[in-house]
Chain A
Amino acid sequence: MSPSENVPGNSSSALRGTRAVPDGDPAVPGARVPAGTPSNRSGRPELVRPEQGRLLGGVATGLAAHLGTGTLAVRAVLVALAVLGGSGIVLYLWLWALVPDGATGTAWAGEMGRRPGVRPVDSSEEAGKAGSAGKAGSTGNAGVGRGVPGASRSRDILLGLLLLLMGLVFLGLRAGWGDLPGLFPLLVVGCGAIIAFSQLDEVERSRLTTRTGTGTRSAVLRVAAGAALVVIGAVLLAVQGSGVVQAARILVAVLAVLAGLGLVLTPWGVRMWRSLDAERAALARQTARADIAAHLHDSVLQTLALIQKQSGDPTAVARLARAQERELREYLYGPPDLPQATLAKEVRSAAAQIEDLHGVAVDVVVVGDRDLDERGAALVAALREAMLNAVRHAGAPVQVYAECGPDRVEAFVRDRGPGFDLDAVPPDRLGVRRSIIGRMQRYGGTACVRTAPGEGTEVRLELPGARTVEPRESAGRGNGTDSSDRPDSSDRPDSSDRPDTGDRTPSSGSEDG
């Protein structure tokens, strides 16, 4: 959408037929240059009805682009042909029916991403595009400038005008001036056709984008109304000048024929519809498959290749495998990405980092979740320290459990290492005291370490839930270490006697020597 991408010189290219957008940037008119489109075999744009710059069905615009002449000239010729015997109208309708819509024909892939599907969004989006194109679009070429902002709206207005004209002619006929015997029914037929055709475009487009099949109901309704108008017009044409009874007879005959046709064609139509549906489903499956394949290629296959290269190093292989397993699991079963950081997410990613760094498996179980605030971040930082100690000194298995309750957050890190005698730790080892215990206390929480030789180690962190608690500059309230069996009997082992700066750098953390 950046204006710098809108090269003024390219604005006229928006007029050209194709809407294929190979580089997938829908917002830039310049991107519509049919650079690599499949249409360029003969050096001229494919004959399609472009979305932009159309007044009715886009036939004239497309034709002009195809022939390399001005849109105005084509329109003039068409109008002239229409006035001189009406062949212009027939030609226009014929082309409208047969020339593919530029929106759906070639620019399939771009279309899917670009169109939210419903019409109001569509036109506003188009207006947005015109806005972003800025002056390049509106002044550069009359066709674009006029057509883009409200191509569909102007078409509606035109339709309204046509209907108004028809009404006038009808009034005129009633008033008795001029005898234009065939004109009225023809007008009805024409209007019906226009409504039906323009709506067919809509239906086709919305079908491709919404994938719900039928598009909007109103579009279908309008197609039906258009068809009805055509039929009425045709009947009027046929019954001209005959009596009421004969007219009714003809009407009945027409309806009978229509009903018969419907009877014959409906099963065929339904079958077509179904096969189309199946095709669409297959395409969706294919897309999903391609997505998965792309993901596997970027992740699993790369890791497998790495593992083959490093097959001599079991630690590296285990680390790679573990990291890949976690990543894949996250992809397959992970909760949808939440926009904001949460405590559970932070705990998991901290554990994942440590796993990757040290090649030791860290199993994480998190119950509940909450938004990550400053204190939560402090808890995660302390938890990270505790995990680091566990993988450094004990090795697998390391079990992390975090529970976010309404009134407190608790976290545990347990390892099955040799354990140690807390009293024997020299006072200058600051890993546990500053990074874990001191940090927790500054944020109003507690931390305690349970360990005994041969029993492994468990670090317990707790933050009370009241979020209004201010971080405290307090430390040194501890009164000795605790290595008893009860976790809650004495929660405050030695804490640091100096205020910690709350750094996240891994500390020495080798208290168990």
Chain B
Amino acid sequence: MIAGKDKITPGQLMFVIIQAQIGVNILFLPSSVESVASSDAWISVSLAGITTMILILAIWGLSRRFPGMILFDYLPLLLGKPIGTIVHLVFAASFIAECSLTSLLFVNAVRDWIFPNTPKSIVLILILAVSLYMARENLRAIARFFVLTFGLIFLMIFIATYAYKEADIMYILPINQAGIPSIIKGALFSMNSFFGYEMLFFCYPYVQGKSRTILKAVFYANTFSVLVYVYLVFTCLLVFTPEEIKIIPQPILYMVKALSFTIIERADLYFLTIWTVVVTSTIMAYLFMSARSVSSLFGMKNHAGTTPFVTLIVFCISLYPHNQDMVNRLKSIVGILGSVSFVTLPIVLLCISYLFKVQRKESAEG
């Protein structure tokens, strides 16, 4: 059914998931979670990561019951044609919205930090053009690129580690000063950083190897992403006082801006440059998912044809909001869509599959 040419290895899957998960939120997560869970933000982020594990398990359980099929192939089997199409639309909308939000946040960060006078559309066109070039290709080529650029994440961690010179452990003590309800609320806030694991819906049938190996690979991937996020949030909490973090929107950049190496200054510019690559891979992953979902909506096998149109839609959506208020509104829309399709739906679909015993017959795989 799926040609050997399109297959990826479990190792590649791991990197695909990591790259899809780690994205724009590296910059924004610390302050947004801190505002809710104050100095216990790192516990919230870990909690969110553990919750993600459960969701991954749900997606994996679902994909395992329909070997050789991606999400949209078995949605009609699970829900029937009409409801299946509606859910399909919700998924497609979520992917496109998530993609647009990521691009928008990226462009805003770039404008805030480097080019305050450059029109938004130019940066947006550039990043979307590069993403489009990649997202048109098959999963295998995308996986290659993601593996190649994976090392940059370590470079970012390395730059951030330098900030420990100014760390003070007292800032996070005592642990649990915010109280458990705030921590859980913070965990809900940070869930959207871990979005990207939905890629498993699309990758599962393309991965060589047993389903257990696939699960393991995705678990490792998620563990890595959680560690990166927790580490960065933790570092920020140690470096800044709780009052400081509340004021600054991108604490990590402020943190590395203060660093001075012998041959380079302003590490934040380099950090932003590397971060651009990481964000671009997230956008590539989401563009790929959006294009796949839109093309299967129209019953097309190949997604290369729809990708340009999807990119155009993403461009329009992310160009539209012109003040912080609208950005926040888009954020909340994406939050709702995301929690419906990436959090609730996998579990609901899995329950339906088990309750009504819907699964693909093994013989069909042939």
Are both chains from one complex? no
Q: Which residues of A contact B (CB under 8 A)?
A: none
Q: Using a CB–CB distance below 8 Å, which chain B residues touch chain A?
A: none
